[in-house]
Amino acid sequence: MSLASEAEAVEQAYAEWQRSVAGVLAKSRRVDAAELGPEPQKLLETVTYDGVTVAPLYSPRDERPEQSLPGTFPYVRGVDAHRDVNAGWLVSAAFGTASAAETNRAILDALENGVSALWLKVGADGVPVTDLAAALEGVLLDLAPLTLDAGAEVNDAAR
């Protein structure tokens, strides 16, 4: 079946359904079907408590076009079609609310249990910049990407 004939079949089925809805509503309300207007199915819509309108029937007419694939125009999902396939997803966890030794133990434990990326709070609200090396001892940074959340102390933390 061609795309055009499939679309025609969907439209015909929907029009038939609309006529059926008009007939049932006209009979139940004891009015003429013409009095229900051009879209009698609107009388069957329900509005949820949070304002979402739920239609009485959904069909291929209601489908939204899918977003383009990664690596294809208009590039809303990135230019690299194999980005997630090659690199995979990272499981990140935040650290740095305890001492350097406790943070190090927590980081190593997390890495052994599935975490693949680190977010480390450094500075006034986290591990002191001077203790950064101790907090990251034993961490293979070429395998586990690190994001330093250092605020105003970013230059010192980067050294």
Q: What is the pLDDT of residues 12-32, one digit of tens each?
A: 999 999 899 888 888 888 888
Question: Could you tell me if residue 74 is inside a domain?
Answer: no
Q: Are residues 110 and 154 in the same domain?
A: yes
- Going by C-alpha positions, the residue among 116, 119, 121 that lies closest to residue 100 is 121
Measured CA to CA, the distance from residue 115 to residue 107 in angstroms comes to 9
Q: Where do the DSSP E strands lie in the chain? A: 46-47, 53-54, 92-95, 117-121, 146-149
Q: Are residues 46 and 106 in the same domain?
A: no
Kindly tell me if the per-residue pLDDT of 4 is higher than 80: no
Question: Could you tell me if residue 149 is inside a domain?
Answer: yes
Question: Could you tell me if residue 73 is inside a domain?
Answer: no
Kindly tell me if the per-residue pLDDT of 86 is higher than 70: no
Q: Are residues 39 and 92 in the same domain?
A: no
Q: Number of folded domains in the chain?
A: 2
Domain boundaries, position 15 = 3-62
Measured CA to CA, the distance from residue 38 to residue 128 in angstroms comes to 70
Question: Could you tell me if residue 56 is inside a domain?
Answer: yes
Question: Could you tell me if residue 67 is inside a domain?
Answer: no
- 91-131 tens-digit pLDDT: 999 998 889 999 999 999 999 999 999 999 998 888 998 99
- 132-159 tens-digit pLDDT: 999 999 999 999 999 998 888 778 777 7
pLDDT score of 83: 67
Q: Are residues 13 and 49 in the same domain?
A: yes
Q: Are residues 15 and 58 in the same domain?
A: yes
Question: Could you tell me if residue 91 is inside a domain?
Answer: yes
pTM for the predicted model, two decimal places: 0.49
Q: Are residues 56 and 112 in the same domain?
A: no
Q: Are residues 149 and 89 in the same domain?
A: yes
pLDDT tier at 50 (50, 70, 90 boundaries)? very high
Q: Are residues 48 and 90 in the same domain?
A: no
pLDDT, greater one: 124 or 4: 124
Question: Could you tell me if residue 37 is inside a domain?
Answer: yes
Question: Could you tell me if residue 138 is inside a domain?
Answer: yes
